[in-house]
Amino acid sequence: MTEFLKVVKYEEAIDRLKACFPPQGIKRCGLLEASGRILAQEIVGSEDLPAFNRSTVDGYALRAGDSFGSSESLPAYLTYQGEIKMGQAAVIELDRGQCAWIPTGGMLPIGADAVVMVEHTERLGDDSVLVYRPVGPGENLMLKGEDVSQGQTLFTPGQLLRPQDIGLLASLGIEQLDIYEAYRVGIISTGDEIVPIQVQPGPGQVRDVNTYALSAAVKDCGSVPNSYPLLGDNFQDLKQGVLQALAENDILLLSGGSSVGIMDVTIDVLLSIPGAELLFHGLAVKPGKPTLAVKIKDQLVIGLPGHPVSSLMMFLIICRPFLIADRKQRIRVKLTQNIASQPGRDDFIPISIREEKDSEPWGRPLLGKSGLMSILALASAYIHIPYEQQGVLAGSWVDAWLF
């Protein structure tokens, strides 16, 4: 097997995956069912939001110039012209020296260019209002089109729809939209040493972390995780489990069985399936060197390391970008300390991010013993030290990809 654990560069692996990643279908979806799904169309603002100038506070609409110079000791005296009704067009027109009551969200009347908050005013009888504080033009207003302008691009294909996105779409009156059909992702943890999480591990045994961590990561990408029973390092059992999962999913994640070892039969099982094509087995990265990928007809199998930290990191690094690219948010941070790196491999280092007194984001590398899951739980992002680079100095600005 000439390609067995023949490491390739990270970028080359990504290119091979990109060429083989299963296509997604597109379907129409109601807005109430769209949260957590991946958008398959561009959405442009069909109208201005708000559609009119509106107040952001309860108070009095007025001409800002009429309040200039007002104070607690010398208030401005305005003539009261009536009330703007909520949910109705403003029929009142204001001239100099006039004002009208306006509720939060009310339509600004013609002639007004600001709103003074009610707590800075005093009503005198039925026809007068005292203003104790000056306001500037546009103060306490949301102007027409300030939220969304007609023709503005709001969403592009590939974005995962969040609750706040659903709210914005609802405000535009969008009831139906095109979404990508969710990938069905099978997850199988393998290894004779793995036991279910409800079982107390015996000597040499560990609980099944990967099924749960990978399922959560898959779901976070807008895909549908399907977990399967644990499998030992037995060729026939593993092949039967793989064939079942392939029959029910678009992508299969196998954790364990991808490192060199007499009991690790994953690659033998995969290559025994008709139509299997080995994309790579071995990456010049840390963590995750023994990661493999096999294309089987129009499906993809990713063999992840059995170690939970390496498994989850490799999913985030090589799988998530294809499941949902826009969630891989990148920010710039300054490193708190030096990081050593070995040239000839890509290093991915988890970091925690905090803001110091200088208001700049600082990234603290989490460099404990390799493979501590508790360290990954403390991380908020990771940094990438490229193949040709030998370490990074403290104080350097680097890109950080948020988890």
Does residue 376 surpass a pLDDT of 60? Answer: yes
Q: What is the pLDDT of residue 263?
A: 43
The CATH number linked to 81 is 2.170.190.11
Domain membership of residue 280 (yes or no) is yes
290 and 366 assigned to the same domain: no
Q: What is the pLDDT of residue 373?
A: 85
Q: What is the pLDDT of residue 399?
A: 93
pLDDT class for 262, splitting at 50, 70, 90? very low
Task: Give Cα separations from 349 to 11, 78, 247, 363 (angstroms).
Answer: 17, 64, 36, 11
Task: Give Cα separations from 141 to 58, 62, 71, 93, 352 (angstroms).
Answer: 11, 12, 21, 17, 39
pLDDT class for 395, splitting at 50, 70, 90? very high
pLDDT digits (tens, 9 = 90+) for 117-164: 999 999 999 999 999 999 999 999 999 999 999 999 999 998 889 999
Chain position carrying tokens 């001409």 = 63
* Length, in residues, of the chain: 403
Residue 377 backbone class (left: φ over 0; alpha: ψ -120 to 50; beta: rest): alpha
Tell which of 90, 118, 142 closes a domain. 142
Could you tell me which of 126, 112, 123, 125 has the C-alpha nearest to residue 67?
A: 112
Does residue 274 surpass a pLDDT of 90? Answer: yes
166 and 124 assigned to the same domain: no
Domain membership of residue 356 (yes or no) is yes
224 and 307 assigned to the same domain: yes
Domain membership of residue 270 (yes or no) is yes
301 and 257 assigned to the same domain: yes
Compute, in degrees rounded to 10, the torsion defined by CA atoms 368, 372, 376, 379. -20
Query: How much is the average pLDDT of 322-329?
Result: 70
Q: What is the pLDDT of residue 375?
A: 85
Alpha carbon distance, N-terminus to C-terminus of the chain: 36
Does residue 91 surpass a pLDDT of 90? Answer: yes
pTM of the model: 0.80
The CATH number linked to 167 is 3.90.105.10
Domain membership of residue 5 (yes or no) is no
188 and 290 assigned to the same domain: yes
Which amino acid would we find at residue 168? L
Report the alpha-carbon distance of residue 196 to residue 202 in Å, rounded.
12
Does residue 264 surpass a pLDDT of 70? Answer: no
205 and 302 assigned to the same domain: yes
- What is the token pair recorded at 122? 């005093």
Share of the chain above pLDDT 70, in %: 95
Task: Give Cα separations from 269 to 49, 247, 265, 282, 378 (angstroms).
Answer: 57, 15, 6, 17, 36
Q: Per mean pLDDT, which range of 2-6, 79-83, 217-221, 334-338 is the poorest?
A: 2-6
Report the alpha-carbon distance of residue 236 to residue 176 in Å, rounded.
47
The CATH number linked to 310 is 3.40.980.10
CB 93 within 8 A of CB 147: no
Tell which of 272, 301, 324 closes a domain. 324
Return the DSSP state at 325. G
Domain membership of residue 2 (yes or no) is no
Report the alpha-carbon distance of residue 9 to residue 1 in Å, rounded.
20
* Residue-by-residue DSSP string for 114-143: EEEEGGGEEEETTTEEEE-S---TTTTEE-
Q: Per mean pLDDT, which range of 28-32, 172-176, 302-306, 355-359 is the poorest?
A: 355-359
Report the alpha-carbon distance of residue 183 to residue 222 in Å, rounded.
8
Does residue 321 surpass a pLDDT of 90? Answer: no
120 and 67 assigned to the same domain: yes
Does residue 256 surpass a pLDDT of 90? Answer: no
Domain membership of residue 131 (yes or no) is yes
Q: Which domain holds residue 376?
A: 329-402
Q: Per mean pLDDT, which range of 73-77, 99-103, 288-292, 327-331 is the poorest?
A: 327-331
377 and 303 assigned to the same domain: no
205 and 335 assigned to the same domain: no
Domain membership of residue 384 (yes or no) is yes
38 and 175 assigned to the same domain: yes
Domain membership of residue 4 (yes or no) is no
Q: What is the pLDDT of residue 260?
A: 52
The CATH number linked to 359 is 2.40.340.10
41 and 79 assigned to the same domain: no
- Reduced to 3 states (helix: H, G, I; strand: E, B; else coil), residue 224 is strand
* Residue-by-residue DSSP string for 1-66: -TTTTB-B-HHHHHHHHHHHSPP--EEEEEGGG-TTSBB-S-EE-SS-BSSS-EESSSEEEE-GGG
CB 10 within 8 A of CB 285: yes
Question: Hey, which of 84-98, 250-264, 313-327 has the most confident mean pLDDT?
Answer: 84-98
Domain count along the chain: 4
Does residue 1 surpass a pLDDT of 80? Answer: no
Could you tell me which of 318, 345, 336 has the C-alpha nearest to residue 401?
A: 318
196 and 176 assigned to the same domain: no
